[in-house]
Amino acid sequence: MPEQSATVRDVAASKMARVGRVEKSDDPLQPFRLVDADGIEVTAVSEFLHHMLADDASPTSLRSYAYELLAWVLSA
């Protein structure tokens, strides 16, 4: 079996473009919000998360959905 070489990357030194972020808030009606690279709230995502909260989704679920939507909406 041929020997494989492992390349180690310095992840801390990697430069990635910021496309947005998920922010935690102190508002119990909007515990998390998604903002774009300019810090502007993505209202469609906020509305979706608000409807999830109204349907008794936990804050942990809202956070998970916000991060998934960050990957899906802002990287497209």
pLDDT in tens, 3-34: 666 777 776 776 655 678 999 999 999 999 99
CB 20 within 8 A of CB 39: no
- Give the domain ranges of the chain: 19-73
Residue type, 7: T
Phi–psi pair at 41, nearest 5 degrees:
-60, 135
Higher pLDDT, 14 or 53: 53
pLDDT above 70 as % of the chain:
82
- pTM for the full model? 0.71
